[in-house]
Structure 1
Amino acid sequence: MNWISPFRLKRAGMLSMNRRNVGYIGRYNERSSYPLVDNKLKTKLIAAEYDVPTPRLLQVVRQQHEISHFRELVDELDGFAIKPAKGSGGKGITVITRRDGDDYIKASGAPVTLETLERHLSNILAGLYSLGGTPDVAIVESLVQPAADLAKCSFQGVPDIRIVVFQGYPVMAMLRLATTDSDGKANLHQGAVGVGLDIATGHSLNAVQFNRAIHLHPDTGLALGNIAIENWRQMLEMASRCYEATGLGYMGVDLVVDAIEGPLLLELNARPGLAIQMANGEGLLPRLRTIEQLKRFHLTPEERVAYAIKAFARPIQQN
Structure 2
Amino acid sequence: MISTWIALRKAGLLGINERNLRLVNDLNPRRLMRLVNDKTETKRLAIEAGIPTPELYGLIRNPLDMRNLETLLDKPDGCVIKPANGSQGNGIQVILGPMRGGWRRSNGQRALFEDLKFHVNNILSGMYSLSGQPDVAMIEYRVKFDEVFDPISFGGVPDIRIIVLRGIPFVAMVRLPTAESDGKANLHKGGVGVGLDLVTGRTMHGMQNGKTTEIHPDTANPLSNFSVPHWDAMLLMAAKAYEVTGLGYLGADIVLDKGKGPLLLELNARPGLAIQIANRMGIRPLVNAALTADTEGLDAEGRVDLAKKLYRQHAPAHPVNA
TM-score per shorter chain, which class?
Answer: over 0.9
Which whole-Å deviations, capped at 9, do the CAs of 1:43-89 have from their partners, x for residues lacking one? 00001111111001101110112122111232343311011000011
Which whole-Å deviations, capped at 9, do the CAs of 1:182-201 have from their partners, x for residues lacking one? 11111001100000000000
Q: Identify the residue that residue 71 of structure 1 maps to in structure 2.
A: 70
Change (3 A) 1:117 1:46: same
Asked if 1:130 is matched to 2:129, the reply is yes
Which whole-Å deviations, capped at 9, do the CAs of 1:131-167 have from their partners, x for residues lacking one? 1210110100011001111244311110000000000
1:90 CA displacement = 1.0
1:140-155 to 2 correspondences below 5 Å: 140-155=139-154
Asked if 1:208 is matched to 2:220, the reply is no
Whole-Å separation in 1 of the counterparts to 2:277 and 2:209: 10
Q: Which residue identity lines up with residue 148 of structure 2 in the other structure?
A: D
Q: Which residue identity lines up with residue 223 of structure 2 in the other structure?
A: L
Change (3 A) 1:102 1:152: farther
The secondary structure found in structure 2 opposite 1:263 is strand
Whole-Å separation in 1 of the counterparts to 2:138 and 2:75: 17
Whole-Å separation in 1 of the counterparts to 2:5 and 2:48: 41
Q: Is the 8 A contact 1:194 1:208 kept in 2?
A: yes
Q: Is the 8 A contact 2:83 2:129 kept in 1?
A: yes
Q: Identify the residue that residue 80 of structure 1 maps to in structure 2.
A: 79
Q: Is the 8 A contact 2:154 2:176 kept in 1?
A: yes
Matched residue pairs, number? 313
Whole-Å separation in 2 of the counterparts to 1:18 and 1:203: 30
Gaps spanning 5+ residues in structure 1: where? none
Q: Is the 8 A contact 2:75 2:97 kept in 1?
A: no
Q: Identify the residue that residue 269 of structure 2 maps to in structure 1.
A: 270
Whole-Å separation in 1 of the counterparts to 2:207 and 2:155: 18
Whole-Å separation in 2 of the counterparts to 1:282 and 1:111: 43
Q: Identify the residue that residue 60 of structure 2 maps to in structure 1.
A: 61
1:113 CA displacement = 2.1
Which whole-Å deviations, capped at 9, do the CAs of 1:246-296 have from their partners, x for residues lacking one? 000000000001111100000000011110110001112110100122244
Asked if 1:177 is matched to 2:176, the reply is yes
Q: Which residue identity lines up with residue 140 of structure 1 in the other structure?
A: I
1:1-319 to 2 correspondences below 5 Å: 10-297=9-296, 299-313=298-312
1:100 CA displacement = 3.1
Whole-Å separation in 2 of the counterparts to 1:304 and 1:133: 37
Higher relative contact order (CA 8 A, sep 6+): 1
Q: Which residue identity lines up with residue 179 of structure 2 in the other structure?
A: T
Q: Is the 8 A contact 1:151 1:159 kept in 2?
A: no
Change (3 A) 1:158 1:229: same
Cα-Cα RMSD: 1.9
Whole-Å separation in 2 of the counterparts to 1:265 and 1:243: 13
Q: Is the 8 A contact 1:9 1:281 kept in 2?
A: no
Whole-Å separation in 1 of the counterparts to 2:236 and 2:106: 29
Whole-Å separation in 1 of the counterparts to 2:214 and 2:7: 20
Q: Which residue identity lines up with residue 181 of structure 1 in the other structure?
A: E
Q: Is the 8 A contact 2:87 2:130 kept in 1?
A: yes
Q: Is the 8 A contact 2:165 2:291 kept in 1?
A: no
Whole-Å separation in 1 of the counterparts to 2:277 and 2:110: 35
Q: Is the 8 A contact 1:256 1:263 kept in 2?
A: yes
Change (3 A) 1:206 1:10: farther
Whole-Å separation in 1 of the counterparts to 2:12 and 2:316: 17
Change (3 A) 1:211 1:171: same
1:8 CA displacement = 5.7
Q: Is the 8 A contact 1:61 1:138 kept in 2?
A: yes
Whole-Å separation in 1 of the counterparts to 2:6 and 2:149: 32
The secondary structure found in structure 2 opposite 1:133 is coil
Whole-Å separation in 2 of the counterparts to 1:18 and 1:315: 22
Q: Is the 8 A contact 1:6 1:278 kept in 2?
A: no
Aligned-pair identity (%) = 44
